Amino acid sequence: NIVAGLHTFALRPIKNLNSLYLHHYTKTNSYKRYMYRIGTGVSVYGINKTNVSKLQLFCPSLHEQEKISNFFYKIDRKLGLQQERIEVLEEYKKSMMQKIFSQEIRFKDDDGKDFPEWEGKKLGEIAKNKNIRYKDDDRFDDLLSVTLNNGIKRQIDLDGTDSSSQDKSNYKVVRENDVVYNTMRMWQGASGVSNYNGIVSSAYVVLELTKVADPKFIGYFFKTPNMIYKFFRSSQGMTSDTLTLRYNFFKEIKIELPTFLEQNKIASFLSSIDKKIQLEEERLEEMKEFKKGLMQRMFI
């Protein structure tokens, strides 16, 4: 049976049809392709009850449906547990970052001795505005983008395109270990440390770190709530849509910075957590692909 509401359908199984089996079937590519084919509309694309009711579903006996449903239920449980592992690691990282950058937790040197106290500085002392423009003889011209959650990425890896103009003379040059931030989204955390040589638009600020700053540490440091709040306070604009953090205000922000060696230890510790998270995320994707492959073979 099909119960229709406003922009909503409820598929209600009748005799000889298991509800979990029907649920899993609606996740298959064949079902999605059918829904796409029967859709109508120009400005608003959708499906109606009449077309949905014409769907022909070929299914095994109720007993086999139950076995298939239970099998996929167990896979879904494993997927859920894997997602929970990732969330636990992310919460652990968040908690440790809060304790580290509030100096509740301090690291020791290789001899087991305490590091010196964190030293007060201005950001202009550790990060200089690079502002080097692209030249035709530059060897690297990959267009880079600063994402909110995943740092600096090549645009071609994000969406398969490179939207840079043919004349690249107005683009800024980025080299590996430079820090780049979006002037209009820095108050939201749009910054990252580059693993690439490439170019960015003039809307970005490219920072070259001095010898007192570890790039990986700065990458984590700029993502902390305390620093993001400072970036917000130093941004200029009447509304959130116009807030801009220019370098002349950025460089005046006051911070406390540990020694380079302690920075390195902090960055290594947080990087090890990130590697664990990445490994668990890769496992989750493998499990999803495994389930997807099974569903394609079972629901032909």
Structure token pair of residue 277:
């998270």
Q: At what angle do helices 260-298 and 62-101 cross, to 10 degrees?
A: 170
Q: What integer pLDDT is reported at residue 59 of this predicted model?
A: 78
Q: How far apart are CA 174 and CA 151, in angstroms?
A: 14
Measured between alpha carbons, how far is residue 98 from residues 51, 56, 72, 224, 226 in Å? 54, 55, 39, 8, 9
Q: What integer pLDDT is reported at residue 175 of this predicted model?
A: 94
Q: How far apart are CA 253 and CA 191, in angstroms?
A: 16
Give the strand order in the sheet containing 127-129: 127-129, 204-209, 179-182, 191-193
Q: What integer pLDDT is reported at residue 199 of this predicted model?
A: 93
Secondary structure element (H or E) that encloses residue 119, with its range: strand 119-122
Which residue's structure tokens are 């580059």? 194
Q: What integer pLDDT is reported at residue 5 of this predicted model?
A: 46
Q: What integer pLDDT is reported at residue 300 of this predicted model?
A: 60
DSSP β-ladder status, 204-209 and 179-182 = antiparallel
- What are the mean pLDDT values of the chain's consecutive 10-residue runs (300 residues total)? 56 76 78 74 69 72 87 93 97 97 95 96 96 80 87 87 79 94 93 94 94 96 96 92 94 97 97 97 95 79
CA 196 to centroid of chain Cα atoms:
18
Neighbours of 70 (CB within 10 A): 12
Q: What integer pLDDT is reported at residue 215 of this predicted model?
A: 96
Q: What integer pLDDT is reported at residue 4 of this predicted model?
A: 47
For the chain, how big is the Rg over CA atoms in Å? 26
DSSP β-ladder status, 127-129 and 119-122 = unpaired
Whether the CB-CB separation of 172 and 131 falls below 8 Å is answered with: yes
Q: How far apart are CA 23 and CA 32, in angstroms?
A: 13
Q: What integer pLDDT is reported at residue 42 of this predicted model?
A: 65
Q: How far apart are CA 220 and CA 209, in angstroms?
A: 14
Whole-model pTM: value is 0.80
Whether the CB-CB separation of 201 and 172 falls below 8 Å is answered with: yes
